[in-house]
Amino acid sequence: MRRQMVREVLAQGRADSETELFGWVRTARHSKSLSFLELVDGSCMAGLQVVVEPSLPGYEGIRSLRTGCALRVSGRLVDSPGKSQSVELHAKDVELIGDVDDDYPLQKKRHSFEFLRTLGHLRFRTNTLGAVIRVRNSAAQAIHRFFQDRGFLWLHSPIITALDAEGAGEMFRVSTLDAGSPPRNDSGEVDFSQDFFGGETLLTVSGQLEAEIGALSMGNVYTFGPTFRAENSNTSRHLAEFWMVEPEMAFCDLDGDAELAEDFLKCVIRSILEDCPEDMAFFQQRIDEGLMERLDRVVSAPFERLTYTEAVEILEGSGRDFEFPVKWGVDLQSEHERYLTEEHVGRPVVVTDYPIDIKAFYMFRNDDERTVRAMDVLVPGVGEIVGGSQREHRLEVLRERLRHHGLSEERYGWYLDLRRYGSVPHAGFGLGFERLVQFVTGMANIRDVIPFPRVPGNAEF
């Protein structure tokens, strides 16, 4: 028989049916006449109430069960007198599978998220991290469904790469050379030609260039996988290893790209709200009381569109004393992004057409030659959640842009080829998966929305 989970039992369990469950004790209350065990198994926030009567054989052992014990419980489901749950289990048999030592650190009291990060092996047992893991799972499913429903193919971009995606971020080197005494060439530099792949290799910072290859053969594709940045940013929005979603569409311009990003965010958020109502109610109650209202506004109203130039005018006219002063030509900082989305508009904003000098060489140059067809989607509480662009598909302009950035045509030969053999307008974006989970849950720190965070100075667990 397939093992039943608490989620199924609470959703569909019929009174008077027999069942068997496995899980851990979240709380145990023992009175003279009865024992109440709350059994959880990760399948949902709520636990199943297990009632044990003293007449049960071996009841003395049951009285010593406590938070953290692993159990097998079988018995009969009965309608619960409590209003917080539909059914409870009247135990006929309780087996202790794994006892818990006295020093179990997760007693029934609130722990700080910082403290819980030092318990990476246990923290999923808390309500908050459990809910995060379930919402993350739901979000990943919703993302695949969104693209699959629209005929996008999932392209598995490589993790080890020789491309640097034009400085999207600092990169980690992948090498099997002896770190203590690597081989050197005549000029004394490390000789990567003797390395595993016969050249220098790195962990990817973005799958975009591979996604472009995919789109220019397969039409619409997306990547969804881990990316790495060795940037030393100790912030609440940066990880050294994070997951990125990167759709890329052939025969598409920036308007189509922005439309896709808006549909995508709305669809994925709606799907999570439907799929995880209990977990979402928990985030609303315990983590961020403005959460539901904010998410409602995201799914129900159109995103605002602003050009970068308009955004700068708004920021200059705001009368705000920003830490980083704004003027046309500078990149928008988090404080600017948040002012625009949180205070000026109060909903998500798509900012387009950034100055050419602050953006990558592959972005489509506008006729004004001062701006490129780039976009960022900004959302309240997080700031930038999506960054994308229409790509430069005109061979001559791309050559010029490579020259301007001091990049060699030889190195990007294959990229130029794609502009020589049936080039088409194409566009795409990158979404930081953890930024999305942060936005949807209201969690303040990105380290608490990924199972095992990698950040400067820490790769534990």
**390, two tokens:** 């229409």
CB of 442 to ligand ATP, least distance (A): 16
**Of residues 242, 308, 339, 362, which one binds ligand ATP by CB under 6 A?**
242
Stretch of 32-40, 46-54, 321-329, 425-433 contacting ligand ATP, by CB under 6 A: 425-433
- Give which of 385, 454, 387 is closest to 172, Cα–Cα: 454
- Give which of 303, 217, 234 is closest to 266, Cα–Cα: 303
Stretch of 16-24, 38-46, 343-351, 382-390 contacting ligand ATP, by CB under 6 A: 382-390
Sign of CA dihedral 230, 235, 238, 239: positive
Query: Binding to Mn ion by residue 387, rule CB under 5 A?
Result: yes
Query: Binding to ligand ATP by residue 435, rule CB under 6 A?
Result: yes
Is-contact 390 373, C-beta < 8 A? yes
CB of 241 to Mn ion, least distance (A): 18
For Mn ion, the closer CB: 21 or 363: 363
CB of 455 to ligand ATP, least distance (A): 9
Residue 338, binding choice from ligand ATP, Mn ion, none, Cβ under 5 to 8 Å by partner class: none
**Of residues 229, 266, 336, 365, which one binds ligand ATP by CB under 6 A?**
229
For ligand ATP, the closer CB: 422 or 457: 457
CB of 241 to ligand ATP, least distance (A): 8
Query: Binding to ligand ATP by residue 244, rule CB under 6 A?
Result: yes
For residue 276, give Cα distances in angstroms to 130, 144, 268: 12, 17, 12
Stretch of 41-49, 292-300, 385-393, 448-456 contacting Mn ion, by CB under 5 A: 385-393
CB of 94 to ligand ATP, least distance (A): 44
For ligand ATP, the closer CB: 13 or 387: 387
CB of 261 to Mn ion, least distance (A): 13
CB of 385 to ligand ATP, least distance (A): 5
Is-contact 250 215, C-beta < 8 A? yes
For Mn ion, the closer CB: 142 or 205: 205
Stretch of 4-12, 271-279, 407-415, 427-435 contacting ligand ATP, by CB under 6 A: 427-435
Is-contact 204 157, C-beta < 8 A? yes
* Residues paired with 79 in a beta bridge: 87
- Give which of 275, 343, 346 is closest to 315, Cα–Cα: 343
Instruction: For residue 156, give the 3-state DSSP assignment.
Output: coil
Cα distance between residue 53 and residue 88, in whole Å? 13
Stretch of 11-19, 90-98, 246-254, 387-395 contacting Mn ion, by CB under 5 A: 387-395
Query: Binding to ligand ATP by residue 432, rule CB under 6 A?
Result: yes
Query: Binding to Mn ion by residue 430, rule CB under 5 A?
Result: no
Query: Binding to ligand ATP by residue 386, rule CB under 6 A?
Result: yes
Per DSSP, the residues of 263-279 read HHHHHHHHHHHHH-HHH
* Residues paired with 224 in a beta bridge: 245
CB of 34 to ligand ATP, least distance (A): 49
Beta-strand relationship, 383-390 and 426-432: antiparallel
Residue 168, binding choice from ligand ATP, Mn ion, none, Cβ under 5 to 8 Å by partner class: ligand ATP
For ligand ATP, the closer CB: 11 or 459: 459
In b/e form, how buried is each residue of 337-359, taking b as 16+ CB within 10 angstroms?
Answer: bbbbbbebbebbbbbbbbbbeeb
- Give which of 51, 59, 62 is closest to 88, Cα–Cα: 51
Interactions with ligand ATP, residue window 316-355 (CB under 6 A): none
**Of residues 276, 385, 398, 449, which one binds ligand ATP by CB under 6 A?**
385
Cα distance between residue 359 and residue 355, in whole Å? 7
> Looking at beta carbons, which residue is closest to ligand ATP?
432
Edge-first strand listing for the sheet containing 220-228: 153-154, 220-228, 241-250, 426-432, 383-390, 371-379, 349-355, 304-307
Cα distance between residue 19 and residue 232, in whole Å? 52
For ligand ATP, the closer CB: 214 or 430: 430
**Of residues 168, 216, 378, 427, which one binds ligand ATP by CB under 6 A?**
168
Cα distance between residue 346 and residue 137, in whole Å? 28
CB of 222 to Mn ion, least distance (A): 18
Cα distance between residue 155 and residue 250, in whole Å? 14
Which residues here bind ligand ATP, judged by CB under 6 A? 168-169, 229, 237-239, 242, 244, 384-387, 430-432, 434-435
